[in-house]
């Protein structure tokens, strides 16, 4: 049983592991809430058990209190679900629901494997990590050196390796320079507006995935500016571009898997400021340039992007550095730890 939810950034990596487990003969089911997972998981063909839970708000005490109250019955629902389905192992794939189901796994003495996607151990994982057989980290984390911690990288879908088809999908000429703009499945308002203004009269193609929240309010400023809401096959968009402008969540690993250099604008309210840590991981390697959200303007974004695109040597160096960060075996490694936990001591017969 895999628990993952909230955003596509949690669900897509979990699905990457699930598909490998299923291909090896495992029966895989998911538990989650009513956000991205409720659509993505059934669409991928996996059984889905919905729990009535929501994430803790970091900006509203009222919403945080409501979420905490809903977490209690959701936890008992998760306990009942595990006792009914009797999984051999539970994997926490990230998001608020992973903590609830992970705690239920601890109570029912079900082997538990956790994944941490960011450069900061989330609160749920911090609370239950000591009960897990393995905690699979996307990045090395200071102080997380016990044998249960292992750096696997972040599971991502296999990289797309057909630029011609990827560009044909979005009607982008094969010989054009293309910049991808993305802020995740919901979108990033600051990036969305800055990009539309910055690239309104640029000569390069723009593939702008605005997210479901902001898309209705945006208008493509010119021909060659491909404005979309959201796509399921994100790898096609990454493969189609030469440079990405993005937040610095889990998508940094998909950028690396395609060798894509980036201009990263970390989300300033991310838990533990982990997106800044993610961005610095790419910047330190020479694969990215960081613009803080507070400094982001259309002029600065245009200047930064055009500076990189105008220096082909720099662009190639950043691309090579991005490729060097890729962990293409991450999903397979996590799946192997999940299988090992399921076969280990204490598994219910």
CA-atom Rg of the chain in angstroms: 20
Q: Which residue has the tokens 């395609």?
A: 258
Give yes or no: residues 137 and 20 share one domain.
Answer: yes
Give yes or no: residues 210 and 300 share one domain.
Answer: yes
Give yes or no: residues 229 and 249 share one domain.
Answer: yes
Q: What is the pLDDT of residue 303?
A: 98
Q: Is residue 250 part of a domain?
A: yes
- CA nearest to 178, candidates 292, 291, 260: 260
Q: By residue range, what is the domain housing residue 130?
A: 2-156+329-343
Q: Is residue 348 part of a domain?
A: no
Tally of structural domains, the chain? 2
Q: What CATH number should be reported for the domain holding residue 224? A: 3.40.50.2000
How far apart, in Å, are the Cα atoms of 206 and each of 170, 189, 203, 222?
Answer: 10, 17, 9, 10
Give yes or no: residues 172 and 271 share one domain.
Answer: yes
Q: What is the pLDDT of residue 59?
A: 54
How far apart, in Å, are the Cα atoms of 34 and each of 42, 49, 317, 339?
Answer: 12, 10, 42, 28
Give yes or no: residues 137 and 96 share one domain.
Answer: yes
Q: What is the pLDDT of residue 260?
A: 98
3-state DSSP call for residue 180? strand
- In 24-160, which residue ranges form alpha helices assigned H by DSSP? 36-43, 61-85, 96-107, 123-128
Q: Is residue 349 part of a domain?
A: no
pTM over 0.85: no
Give yes or no: residues 306 and 167 share one domain.
Answer: yes
Q: Which helix (H) or strand (E) holds 166?
A: helix 163-170
Give yes or no: residues 21 and 121 share one domain.
Answer: yes
Give yes or no: residues 297 and 338 share one domain.
Answer: no
3-state DSSP call for residue 118? coil
Give yes or no: residues 167 and 316 share one domain.
Answer: yes
Backbone phi, then psi, for 190, in 5-degree steps?
Answer: -65, -40
Low-confidence ranges of the chain (pLDDT < 70): 53-71, 344-349
Q: How many CA atoms lie within 13 A of 267 on its CB side?
A: 21
Q: Is residue 229 part of a domain?
A: yes
Q: What is the pLDDT of residue 29?
A: 97
CB of 250 closer than 8 Å to CB of 327: no
Q: What is the pLDDT of residue 294?
A: 96
Q: What is the pLDDT of residue 67?
A: 53
Distance of alpha carbon 254 from alpha carbon 236, whole angstroms: 11
Give yes or no: residues 74 and 173 share one domain.
Answer: no
How far apart, in Å, are the Cα atoms of 329 and each of 68, 80, 254, 268, 285?
Answer: 36, 34, 13, 30, 20
Q: Is residue 189 part of a domain?
A: yes
Give yes or no: residues 32 and 16 share one domain.
Answer: yes
3-state DSSP call for residue 147? coil
Give yes or no: residues 130 and 240 share one domain.
Answer: no
């Amino acid at each position: 049983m895999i628990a993952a939810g909230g955003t596509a950034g949690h669900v897509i990596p979990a699905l990457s592991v699930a598909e490998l487990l299923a291909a090896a003969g495992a029966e895989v089911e998911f538990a989650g809430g009513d956000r991205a997972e409720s659509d993505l998981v059934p669409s991928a063909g996996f059984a889905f058990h919905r729990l009535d839970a929501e994430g803790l708000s970091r900006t509203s005490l009222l919403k945080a209190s409501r979420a905490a109250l809903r977490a209690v019955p959701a936890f008992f629902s998760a306990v009942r679900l595990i006792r009914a389905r009797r999984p051999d192992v539970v994997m926490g794939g990230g998001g608020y629901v992973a903590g609830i189901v992970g705690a239920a796994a601890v109570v029912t003495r079900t082997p538990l494997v956790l994944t941490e996607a960011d450069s900061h151990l989330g609160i749920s994982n911090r609370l239950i990590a000591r009960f897990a057989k393995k905690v699979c980290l996307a990045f090395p984390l200071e102080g997380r050196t016990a044998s249960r911690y292992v750096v696997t990288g972040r599971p991502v879908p296999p990289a797309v390796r057909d630029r011609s088809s990827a560009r044909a999908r979005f009607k982008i000429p094969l010989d054009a320079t293309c910049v991808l703009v993305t802020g995740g499945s919901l979108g990033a308002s600051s990036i969305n507006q800055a990009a539309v203004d910055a690239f309104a009269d640029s000569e390069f193609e723009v593939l702008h995935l605005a997210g479901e929240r902001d898309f209705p309010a945006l208008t493509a400023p010119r021909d060659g500016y491909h404005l979309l809401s959201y796509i399921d096959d994100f790898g096609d968009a990454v493969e189609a571009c030469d440079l990405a402008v993005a937040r610095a969540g889990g998508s940094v690993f998909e950028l690396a898997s395609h060798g894509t250099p980036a201009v990263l604008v970390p989300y300033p309210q991310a838990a533990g400021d982990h997106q800044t840590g993610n961005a610095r991981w790419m910047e330190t390697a020479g694969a990215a340039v960081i613009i803080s959200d507070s400094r982001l303007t259309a002029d600065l974004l245009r200047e930064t992007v055009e500076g990189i695109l105008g220096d082909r040597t720099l662009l190639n160096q950043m691309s090579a550095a991005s490729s060097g960060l890729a962990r293409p075996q991450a999903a397979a490694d996590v799946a192997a730890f999940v299988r090992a936990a399921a076969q280990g001591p204490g598994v219910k017969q």
